[in-house]
Structure 1
Amino acid sequence: MAPCQTPVPPAPVMPLISFIITYYDEPLPLLAECVRSVLRVRAMMTGRGMSEGAFEIIVVDDGSMVSPEDALRQMDRGIRYIRQENQGLSAARNAGLALARGEYVQFVDADDALLPRAYCSLCPRSALDADIILFRFTTRVPQTPPAASGEKDTRCPGKAATAVPKPMESGTEYLLRHNMRASACCYLFRRSRLGKLRFATGLTHEDELFTPLLLLRMHSTRDIPAAAYYYRQRTHSITHTHTSQQRSRRLDDLMDITRRLRNAASTLPPLEKAALTRRVEQLTGDYIYNVYRLECDPARRSHRMATLAGEHLLPLPVRTYTPGYWLYSLMLRLPHPWPDCLMRLLTHKTRLENTTG
């Protein structure tokens, strides 16, 4: 399939924000809901004195069976639409970045949506004084339509949009002091700071690799504790896959990402190295939890843990990043066979809570 792009005359002024929506075979009503949420943000901000040209909407179709172009044209003829062969989420986002002209970039997955009132609290000119704006997501939206097919109704309320911003710090300082959210959709960032950084293709959990490297490039962050993004939990997503092959791929990719970040940290100055190493330690803890949660074969589980030890990622440093990390770091220091027994018991209990909760 040859890439094709709907020609749209370029705006004479650089847009303030490029919204990059990535789409692949999601139900058209979900894409429409997503696009309309961005259009509502634009309408609210133009009502506050900004021009429509301040907002650029790019939809990257990653080789869907049926093109949504006609539906997009009916919603807004200014939407920039590109269709390419199926290459995965990373390649689709990279294609959007190649088209983007905005001062800032916002990623949106086609089955999610922005929460317009909360999002508008992030993007007045007076608030865009940082290289990157950090905000929250929620899985619960007040007065949402009934759950679509494949959607799990396990939502929880988000924080109010009127929350007070926290003091600014650099991206490196943020990584040193806070537990970052991996999803690239929870960040509105200055495009010029991106440099040559792009999403790695061929990986699941690509955000785990991209986002910490993105934060390291940011000279200033603005953390606004507002739930401005609706994340729709769907059973077909990569985080809800259940076959043995899919579980193994998830674990292999998480290990690959941990290695890549550790190798990147080894090349950095001391402060940046410490910040990224902190994230590597957290990811190692996440990986261990997922090994015990997803790997059913004891021999393969032992092999994965031995690999961590052989690459000097074990023992985990005793830190209080999260209660779970702290507990794992202590349990894994116990003599054999206690670590394996306790980790299996803990992850089994968590699975039961997730199933019955």
Structure 2
Amino acid sequence: MMFFPYGSRQGKIMRNLISVIVPVYNVEKYVEECIRSIMEQSYPAMQVLIVNDGSTDGSAEICERLCEMDSRLRLIAQKNAGLSEARNTGIDQAEGEYICFVDSDDTIKPYFIERLMNLIAGTGAQMAQCELYSSVEEEKQKSTYQIYKASEYLERLINDQIPSYFCGKIFKKELFHDFRFPLGKTYEDLLMMPMIIERCRSIVATSEKLYFYRRRWDSITNHPRYRIQNQRAISQAFSRRFHIAKERYPSVRSTALKRAVEANLCAMALVYDQRGRSDEWKEHYVFLNDALKEMQKDPRMKLFLKIVTQSAFSFPSIFNPVLKAGIVLKNRFKMK
């Protein structure tokens, strides 16, 4: 890992075409602000692919009007198939050498693309990342940047030092050769980001906060109806990360195991509450049974987590309802 004051190696200016992919679904309240922030980018070589994923509100009409104002914008319509399919459609239509994803309820600073593209030009990285912010107070900071090997970056990701979002980043398009987002899943970023990272030779990250990430409690990832689906997706992503860490990154193996166990315990409790000892419940049970053996061999694993995991096997009819109640209570306080 190399660390530089911002601007110390920025001699090159990049003018390669970048394709900005914006999936849109029922965001009429936010989508114009999002797209206008893209239209105002200081970077000139830009293609903007707005993928309308079957919106039923006024989002499509807003996008059509904006497309008439700027020839760089293109609206693509498809039947509702979810965020992953909308992103995949954008990747298939992308003409740029580089790709970035902007969620349609977020906005980007006018120099977001220019800053990251210049960092790529100056470092030769295949991926660039900025910091995200969710309030005006978070914007101010001194700017530095660091260059990581893919292995270093992935270790930091597994260690929860780097967010898993695909937004706030720019990627070399060749990274998406034979790569597409899985359909029908939530938290797809959590699952797929390690795969993209391992395809990179190097990654550059700036401390500048250039991407405004809007937190919405009405999103699918926060809706109570999708609680089981979401928690299962999280557990599958963290389980995969543990297997990656176990095979190739021993320094973060304990952290990855802890995250995977916690996620699977929560998923197992939620599934048990709704569906009993179903095949889905057994999937988490099997993982935790194997994980418990790993935990017993790991001196860094906390005794409390070992006891909780063992209780899930010994007293499932008591453990699962109690844990599920704790999850619901935690979410209620989180949403206030």
TM-score (normalised: structure 2): 0.74
Q: Distance in 2 between matches of 1:313 and 1:90?
A: 31
Instruction: Give SS of 2:164's match.
Output: coil
Query: For each residue in 1:62-83, what CA deviation from the matched residue of structure 2 results, as whole angstroms up to 9, or x when unmatched?
Result: 1223533431224412212211
CA contact (8 A) 1:61 1:92 kept: yes
| Counterpart residue number, 1:236 | 218
Change (3 A) 1:346 1:123: same
CA contact (8 A) 2:217 2:223 kept: yes
Change (3 A) 1:355 1:232: closer
| Counterpart residue number, 2:151 | 172
Query: For each residue in 1:241-289, what CA deviation from the matched residue of structure 2 results, as whole angstroms up to 9, or x when unmatched?
Result: 113xx222223434454566677x49x9x53798799657634433434
Q: Distance in 2 between matches of 1:319 and 1:86?
A: 48
Matched, 1:109 2:103: yes
Matched, 1:72 2:51: no
Aligned residue type for 1:172: S
Within 5 Å, give how 1:338-353 maps onto structure 2.
347=327, 350-351=330-331, 353=333
Query: For each residue in 1:150-206, what CA deviation from the matched residue of structure 2 results, as whole angstroms up to 9, or x when unmatched?
Result: xxxxxxx4353642112x222222112442422211321111123211101111111
Q: Distance in 1 between matches of 2:25 and 2:261?
A: 31
Query: For each residue in 1:64-121, what CA deviation from the matched residue of structure 2 results, as whole angstroms up to 9, or x when unmatched?
Result: 2353343122441221221112211111101111111222211011111113356643
Matched, 1:286 2:263: yes
Matched, 1:310 2:289: no
| Counterpart residue number, 1:4 | none
CA contact (8 A) 1:173 1:275 kept: no
Query: For each residue in 1:123-154, what CA deviation from the matched residue of structure 2 results, as whole angstroms up to 9, or x when unmatched?
Result: 325556311112222222x3xxxxxxxxxxxx
| Counterpart residue number, 1:48 | none
Q: Distance in 2 between matches of 1:58 and 1:305?
A: 40
Q: Distance in 1 between matches of 2:268 and 2:291?
A: 14
| Counterpart residue number, 1:193 | 175
Instruction: Give SS of 2:305's match.
Output: helix
Aligned residue type for 1:171: A
| Counterpart residue number, 1:251 | 231
Structure with the bigger percentage of helix: 2
Change (3 A) 1:75 1:58: same
CA contact (8 A) 1:161 1:228 kept: no
Q: Distance in 2 between matches of 1:327 and 1:302?
A: 29
Q: Distance in 2 between matches of 1:117 and 1:249?
A: 37
| Counterpart residue number, 2:308 | 332
Within 5 Å, give how 1:47-86 maps onto structure 2.
52=44, 54-65=45-56, 67-68=60-61, 69-86=63-80
Instruction: Using the TM superposition, give the Cα deviation of residue 20 of structure 1 relative to its aligned residue in structure 2, in angstroms.
Output: 0.6
Count residues with an aligned counterpart.
308
Q: Distance in 1 between matches of 2:122 and 2:111?
A: 15
Q: Distance in 2 between matches of 1:202 and 1:18?
A: 24
Change (3 A) 1:327 1:208: farther
Quote the sequence identity (%). Answer: 23
Q: Distance in 2 between matches of 1:115 and 1:227?
A: 8
Query: For each residue in 1:189-245, what CA deviation from the matched residue of structure 2 results, as whole angstroms up to 9, or x when unmatched?
Result: 1111232111011111111221111111111011222222212222331122113xx
| Counterpart residue number, 1:88 | 82
Aligned residue type for 2:184: G
Q: Distance in 2 between matches of 1:291 and 1:172?
A: 31
Instruction: Give SS of 2:167's match.
Output: helix
Q: Distance in 2 between matches of 1:328 and 1:347?
A: 17
Q: Distance in 1 between matches of 2:126 and 2:257?
A: 23
Q: Distance in 1 between matches of 2:307 and 2:280?
A: 17
Change (3 A) 1:231 1:319: farther
Instruction: Using the TM superposition, give the Cα deviation of residue 40 of structure 1 relative to its aligned residue in structure 2, in angstroms.
Output: 1.9
CA contact (8 A) 2:185 2:233 kept: yes
> What CA RMSD, in Å, does the superposition of the two structures yield over aligned residues?
3.9
Change (3 A) 1:62 1:170: same
Instruction: Give SS of 1:165's match.
Output: strand
Matched, 1:203 2:185: yes
Aligned residue type for 1:59: I
Aligned residue type for 2:265: I
Q: Distance in 2 between matches of 1:104 and 1:191?
A: 5
Change (3 A) 1:191 1:273: farther
CA contact (8 A) 1:15 1:102 kept: yes
